[in-house]
Amino acid sequence: MAGSDNVVVEAEDVPIYVSSLPVPNVQEMVRENPLRVPERYLRTKEEISESEPGYVNPMLPVLDLSLLVDGNAQELDKLDLACKDWGFFQGYGHTNVETKDQKLDWSDTLVLAVYPERFRRPQFWPSTPPHFKKAMETYANEIRTVGDKLIGSLATVMGLNKDAMLKLHGELVQGLRLNYYPSCVKPNDVYGISPHSDATIVSILMQDSDTDGLQIRHEGHWVPIKPIPGALIINLGDVVEFWTNGKYKSIEHRSMTNAKKWRISFATFIYPPDDIEIGPLALVVDPGRPHQKYKKMKYGEYLRFSLKRELEGKEHIKVAQVEVPN
């Protein structure tokens, strides 16, 4: 879950976590001069590391969501394996800008609060195209159902009752971020979105089916995620890592640009209310490894800390880690 340099955010009745300095609109920059990439967007080769030569990309797990929500044992086993080994499966803007010399990402985003419905302010949503509001409300409602069922399945593989998480955290919050990645003449020198993990329970991504861009860090390598037509990308957030005391991991991911094609994706973030305490769940911590890796803290406190930092992989989760005595 990330903010963005160029973000439109509804404010009324929605918790305000951070403020951001104004930055240019990337789409307008490309329209005015498609051959220019300002220095502030360029990264060093060390920053934008690539997979080692000869590394064979493994296939991201693919789950059947209909079987999963029906409690199919084989599909639940696949979910457990996907959560432990990947933190991503199929069935993702960047940090708020705090300083004038902070590096920027090559993307524009629109952020909408969609749940609880009292957070919605459709009068501030774009009026064009004409059916935008209706389409976004319909999409948000359908994804809400998917998210609830996914969280129920996660509870099951964690050894809890299917509705335990929803009861524990009450009314979950849902945000929708629309990402636009213009084409870039220097695609290997910029980030669409910098490396980070999401400060969420789960994130659900719908992306273009014909243009790559999303990459995840798996076993020390950056793995491109090939879109599967009709499939959603599911990303475990930091909250699940805290719940499971590190058994399941939130995974570092990033978005790259394309020299010839622009790209669009819809990212849905599902997370607890501000006043909910997050941390390892007693029923989930392995009795054979009882050391608690993460402390308990209010979710709102954790989210504010995460959003105020520049995106640096998973550095932000250190605020929740328990120091191990020497």
For the chain, the domains span 7-32+62-320
> Could you tell me the two tokens for 277?
């305490």
- Amino acid identity, residue 277? E
Q: Are the beta carbons of 169 and 278 closer than 8 angstroms?
A: no
pLDDT of amino acid 218: 82
Beta strands in the chain (DSSP E): 7-9, 88-90, 108-115, 173-181, 193-196, 202-207, 214-218, 221-224, 233-236, 253-255, 263-271, 277-278, 297-298
Q: Are the beta carbons of 3 and 94 closer than 8 angstroms?
A: yes
297-324 pLDDT, tens per residue? 898 888 888 877 666 667 777 778 787 6
> Could you tell me the two tokens for 19?
């403020």
Neighbours of 118 (CB within 10 A): 11
Q: Which of 189, 187, 222, 195 is nearest to 45 (CA)?
A: 189
181-213 pLDDT, tens per residue? 888 888 888 888 888 888 899 999 888 767 778
Residues 59-76: what's their mean pLDDT?
Answer: 66
- Amino acid identity, residue 267? A
Check pLDDT > 70 for residue 74.
yes
116-158 pLDDT, tens per residue? 888 777 777 777 788 888 888 899 999 999 898 888 888 888 8
ω before 195 within 30° of 0 (cis)?
Answer: no
Residues 40-55: what's their mean pLDDT?
Answer: 63
> Could you tell me the two tokens for 115?
């749940």
Cα–Cα dist 90/172, whole Å = 22
217-274 pLDDT, tens per residue? 888 888 888 888 888 888 889 999 998 888 888 888 898 888 888 888 899 999 998 8
Q: Which residues pair with 115 in a beta bridge?
A: 174
Q: Are the beta carbons of 7 and 20 closer than 8 angstroms?
A: yes
pLDDT of amino acid 61: 64
Give the architecture (CATH level 2) of 7-32+62-320: Sandwich (2.60)
The enclosing H or E element of 67 equals: helix 65-69
> Could you tell me the two tokens for 290?
């009882």
